[in-house]
Structure 1
Amino acid sequence: MTQLSACLIVKNEALFLSHCIESIRSFVDEIIVVDTGSDDDTVEIACRHGAQVYHFAWIDDFSTARNESLCHAKGDWILYIDADETVDAINAAKIRQVTTRKDITAVTVRQCIPQQSGNIANAFYSEYCRLFRRHPAIRFEGKIHEQILPSIERLGGKVLCTDIVIHHWAYAASEEKKQRRAERNLRYLLTELDRNQDDPFLYFNLGMTYRELGRRYAAIHSFHYALNKDDGCIKRELLGQTHLNLAKLYLESGDKTSAAHHAQMVATFDPANPLPDYMLATLAIEKGRYKKAIFHLEKALRIAKGETGVFSNVELNLAQIYLELGSCRCAAGDFVNAEHDFVRSMNLGPAVALPCLLLGNCRFLRGDLAGASEMFKRALSLNPLLEGARHGLSLCHPHE
């Protein structure tokens, strides 16, 4: 039977580690934990859950620490995972199944990063190689944002792309921890750039780090460097992410022309991302161009639902998208289809008052006073303080 080793490097992960190990212990044959200097309960938790724990002095190099974990593994296959990640039962079965294949060297998975409620995106997905055969020549490279694929490619190994999902709970970390991590990453990235000033991947990660630290113009500068330094080797998806981040940053700074340009560029490199169309819809709405906004919102929906033939790398808040689509149709005078969108929003989302209010407004505008009154009453039942619904109800019953 194929043996599977899970390999982790950790430091002060007491908050997350038990959840990670509990999610993988049923389908892996051994768990290797390399601790790089924890002073909390991390090591105790790992031991209590049956992991093999090894200690390694941190030398500001993620690849070296990762490779240390590989040295202790005995399995035919390696699953590398972080302490703030989990694997559910469905994806665990997929992992065990794929490791029975004889014709592949490695497997890519989709890392899912759930977002806090209220975002237009419920989750983001990124493709990473997380599962590979144990081999002395397969090793991590790069002091930070380490990669395993280059060594696999040099061996001529076949890499299988899959729909296996690993959940990464990044948002659950405290703001203080996120700040410390970003400041640490900035130091490492700047050190790496001193050695290699032509690596677009480093500039991309530098831009992401500056953005996380709130340094908008430094982030913009770094992302442009990533585009200028591209020699054709960087993944097209990362080029799409670079343009998307530039679009967001320019939108935040008020440069809507540049924001629109970079949003349009995303589809060239990353057609699986619905967010640029959502941004273009937002810009169109600001100009009162509702038909154009409808076009982009409908396209974002098709991408998000996988109707374009590729896995979407963003899970959109569909209830919010239908709410905005209905509002655009209503503004464009298409009340019938607007109502359909508001109903979809109500069915997809939690019990909130806004879609009921907007559906009531739509019915009122086309003269369906009974239907409008019903929706205004439902909106008030969900939010008794919603003045718009109270006003709409009074218009439906002017003599009461």
Structure 2
Amino acid sequence: MSVLVWAYGEEYEEEREDILDAVDTVFSSGCLVLGPSVRNFEAEFAEYHGLGHCVGVDNGTNAVKLALQALGIGPGDEVITVSNTAAPTVVAIAGTGADVKFVDIDPTTYLMDTAQLAAAVTPRTRCVVPVHLYGQCVAMTDIAELARTHGLSIVEDCAQAHGARHRGQLAGTFGDAAAYSFYPTKVLGAYGDGGAVLTRGPDTDRALRRLRYYGMEDRYFVEALPGHNSRLDEVQAEILRRKLRRLDTYIAARRAVADRYQEALKDTPLVLPHIAPGNDHVYYVYVVRHPQRDLILERLRTHGIELNVSYRWPVHTMTAFAGTPAGDTHLPATEQCADEIFSLPMYPSLRPDLQDRVIEALLKVLSTLDPA
């Protein structure tokens, strides 16, 4: 039996009755699109974060794109983000017509190096998209100060940081808007695609609701363009409502898995996750680092252990950005990180015996490596 980096079977067995009841609730309601489940989830997710507005959308990519568009970001504008992220972050920015500008990462946390932001700002810069990667927050107090100084918007990419905190404040509550993905692997995951945008202001909320629904505010009357078909599914919203009540339990379970890794691997040559000062990590993934990463992964496969790399290819090196200013970028910390990091299995229902298999195999493989 292979050990996978993520699996949902055991969690589903534990929550099956509630999940199926959620589906039945929607199917019995007579309302399958933008109904009470979406409205209730939006209200409850906003309340969890202490904010007034949440708009459910179809996925995390469109959550970023629509958040930017609702803030007026478009062609001719420049948006600063990182290349060490899932490609959808950058695809969403490019989808607005804005230009992407990358800054490098902190080599210890793999998060945006906020010390590089001021030098990256130009007269065309309109927005910063910090990515709260792997389960912990970027130093948002630094970004908020820079945004105030230069009159920039902030859209937080919170796809990997549901429930994470920086200096006691929840991810998603620092900027003008925050984009979430509820892809099944996430800390708060649906049983399919889903996303949401949190925002403070009623004007941005209204713009988002129009953007996700063809540019309409009332049926069949388009108020403004652009418009999209980007609605959160009613079934997924009802499932997310149920799972939101268990979010803090999921986070506690992830931290317990991380603690077991930390204890078992602390005396190995692996570089283990570093928690930035003031952060509460939720461990969307448990990322470790070693210069012989590819050899380790190859040998682990012989033990039935299949692991992921998040992310093997920095976005600025991808062919889609070749010949653009974003592609003509040298990011030494990002590029070295991409050659060395990999992720160990991490999900709340990971059984101790399966985690032990991963640890034992990893220790065995590490013992066979030639010293660097």
TM-score > 0.5 by shorter chain: no
Structure of greater Rg: 1
- The two structures have a TM-score, normalised by structure 1, of 0.19
- The higher-RCO structure (CA 8 Å, 6+ apart) is 2
1 or 2, which has the higher helix percentage? 1
- The two structures have a TM-score, normalised by structure 2, of 0.20
